[in-house]
Amino acid sequence: MLGKSGVSVCLVLFLVASSLAEETSSQRPNVLFISIDDLNDWTGCLKGHPQALTPNLDRLAASGVLFTNAHAPGASCNPSRTAVFTGRSPHRSGLYDNRQKMREVLPDAEILPKTFSRHGYHSAGSGKLLHYVIDADSWNDYFPEAKSENPFPRTVYPKNRPVSLSRKGDWQYVESDWAALDVSDEAYGGDFLVARWVSEQLKQRHEKPFFLACGFYRPHEPWFVPKKYFEPFPLESIQLPPGYREDDLADLPPEGQRRGPNRYFAHIQEEKQWKQGIQGYLASIYFADTMLGHVLEALENGPNAKNTIVVLWSDHGWHLGEKQHWQKYTAWRACTRVPLIVRVPKNSPGLPSGTSPGTSDAPVNLLSLFPTLLDLCGLPAEAHHDGPSLIPLLSNPDGHWPHPSVTYLGQPKSFGLSTKRWRYIHYSQGGEELYDIETDPYEWENLAANEKYQVKLAEMRGLAPKSFVEKKLAEKGPEPNLTWHVSTRGNAPASTPSGPTFQIEFFNNSNLPIKLFVLDKRGQPSFAAIIHGGRKHVEKTQKGIVWQVTDGSGYQRGYFRAGNGPAKAIIPPTASAPQRRR
């Protein structure tokens, strides 16, 4: 038993320890963690396209360390973002593609904001950070409200869609479209509201250090932004992607030849919308950069300017015709290479000198962000993290870096691997590609079959991962059928959307075409598709969204209301029956 003096000593020690812990916590730097969705190297500082306008991103790059050879962990949103936020590589987690769900594959994984909260930080976020979910329990604060699990604030979209790119079939992503909107930034909403909310947090003094994440959705499709962001890019001046070459497929292995040409690019060319698509992408990048400027201005003019680490990254790149491809899902540089900027203030525990402006061409990966931030903030490392800390390069951008960077495709054993000068691509069926980036930055000449480069090919093979966890798929029963509601003109309810997105398969169980419309929160319809008799059609939706069905003449026949997850919507034969005339 302790006597009074012993109790007093313990109490004093406890108070001193508590005081030191609070002091240490208060001295830790804040973290501003900014993601920009689907942004490739079309920025001023990376020189990916000569017409790109990114003055704010370029200004940030000039003030920190710009990584010019940074790559995403995955070739699409979900595996890349899951890897960033868990610190676990796709080839070890088993999460390889967008159709998987993080919490079904990794039910117990602790993600970045939760780890920071556990160490005394206030973790807040806004916008798209994970793949169409918020993961509410991992945050102290979020906008929009975390429990909705819907990371998107209100956003103005055209009432009648598609606007520019017609829909050719069920395979086509419904958001592949672009247009200049006659609205102000504030009326448009979306990323403007994200920037405003994040800026408000940065203008305040906080009792605790903060981890503040900001997820900008543009330039993710659809490329609908206010028209003033289209104006710097007149259509007649639009330049094609520098990396495009029409005959860039002949030297690829069969897997590469199949993965390159896709229906999107062919459809866009047939519709004569290639330059319009490039214009929409450039406009969306410029819009996102302007929103970034609001956030950086709030930081620089607020009370947290001198003690906040800033990290900017994108989840993967984007093809706009290179390799005859549109979108993502490839192991070529157009998809794997991303902007990455890190700026560290002085007196950060893991880097007391802070960062000096500089550029690194070391092959780094976004997997390193989680362990790097823990190091910089003086927090203990997590043994399960798969990426090396970037601190050696933040202290010396030209320093030694022995690690390759790997981007994983949607199935095990398919990946792209980068070193400082070389790129190696391996497909699960055995096909290979090898490129010398110093002389061939657009990967036009595959050297894998060239006898002169067999030693280098063997060297790159030796750097590749040796084992791959199988893709983890959730055990699911059959998808439920949604209830068909017969309607007459005007009585279909308005949509009440909430939660993450998922897919509905519509089946037209008749021999006549029907028209499908989605209703907004005011009950106003927007055209979605024509579904011919006996055919199916897939749409992305959210819980509470109402899908209205009319016959070929436009007469309302019925509707479905989306439930909690993927489902089938069986349209009965009566939905396309001829309207009775009196």
Residue 252 burial by CB count (10 A; 0-12/13-18/19+): exposed, middle or buried?
buried
Encoded tokens for 71: 């790559």
Whether 58 has a pLDDT exceeding 50, the answer reads yes
Would you say residue 263 has pLDDT above 80?
yes
List pLDDT tens digits, range 243-256: 999 999 999 999 99
Look at the block and give the residue holding tokens 């029907």.
514
| CA dihedral of residues 568, 569, 573, 579 (deg, nearest 10) | -170
Of 45, 71, 77, 267, the catalytic one is 77
Residue range 402-427: mean pLDDT, rounded: 98
User: What percentage of the chain has pLDDT greater than the value 70?
Assistant: 93
Question: Cβ atoms within 10 A of the Cβ of 115, count?
Answer: 22
**Nearest C-alpha neighbor of 430 from the set 295, 291, 256, 262:** 256
Look at 91-105, 162-176, 294-308, 491-505 and tell me which has the smallest mean pLDDT. 491-505
Distance CA 179, CA 200 (A): 30
Q: What is the pLDDT of residue 237?
A: 98
Q: Say if residue 13's pLDDT is above 80.
A: no
Element (H or E) spanning 355, and its range? none
In the chain, helix, strand, coil percent, each to 5?
A: 30, 25, 50
Which string of DSSP letters, residue by residue, matches 216-234?
E-TTSSSEEEEGGGTTTS-
Tracing tokens 């967008």 back to the chain, one arrives at 98
Q: Is pLDDT of 195 > 70?
A: yes
- Structure tokens, 395: 């202290």
Instruction: Say whether pLDDT at 576 is over 80.
Output: no
Q: Mean pLDDT throughout 303-309?
A: 98
| Mean pLDDT value of segment 290-308 | 98
Cα of first residue to Cα of last residue in the chain, in angstroms, is 97
- The arrangement of strands across the sheet holding 525-531 comes to 485-486, 556-561, 546-550, 514-519, 525-531
Whether 77 is catalytic is yes
5: pLDDT strictly greater than 60? no
| Residue 560 three-state SS | strand
Q: What is the mean pLDDT of residues 343-364?
A: 98
When pLDDT is averaged across residues 558-567 and rounded to a whole number, the result is 90
Contact yes or no for 176/221 (Cβ under 8 A): yes
Element (H, E) at 88: none
**Residue 145: is its pLDDT beyond 60?**
yes
Greatest extent of the chain over all pairs of C-alpha atoms, in Å: 99
Q: Which has the minimum average pLDDT: 56-60, 309-313, 456-460, 508-512?
A: 508-512
Q: Residue 475: which pLDDT band, with cuts at 50, 70 and 90?
A: low
pLDDT in tens, 235-245: 999 999 999 99
More confident residue, 280 or 552: 280
The catalytic residue among 122, 131, 319, 426 is: 131
Average pLDDT, the chain: 92
Distance between CA atoms of 284 and 155, rounded to whole angstroms?
A: 14
Q: What is the pLDDT of residue 315?
A: 98
Bridge-based pairing state of the strands 340-343 and 308-314:
antiparallel
Q: What pLDDT does residue 497 have? A: 86
Separation between Cα atoms, residue 369 and residue 511, nearest integer Å: 54
Under the banding of pLDDT at 50, 70 and 90, the label for residue 581 is very low
Domains delineated in the chain = 55-146+177-216+236-463 (3.40.720.10), 485-576 (2.60.40.780)
Mean pLDDT within 268-287: 98
Residue range 472-482: mean pLDDT, rounded: 71
Question: What is the arithmetic mean of pLDDT over 368-397?
Answer: 97
Cα–Cα distance measured from residue 444 to residue 323, given in angstroms and rounded to the nearest whole number: 9
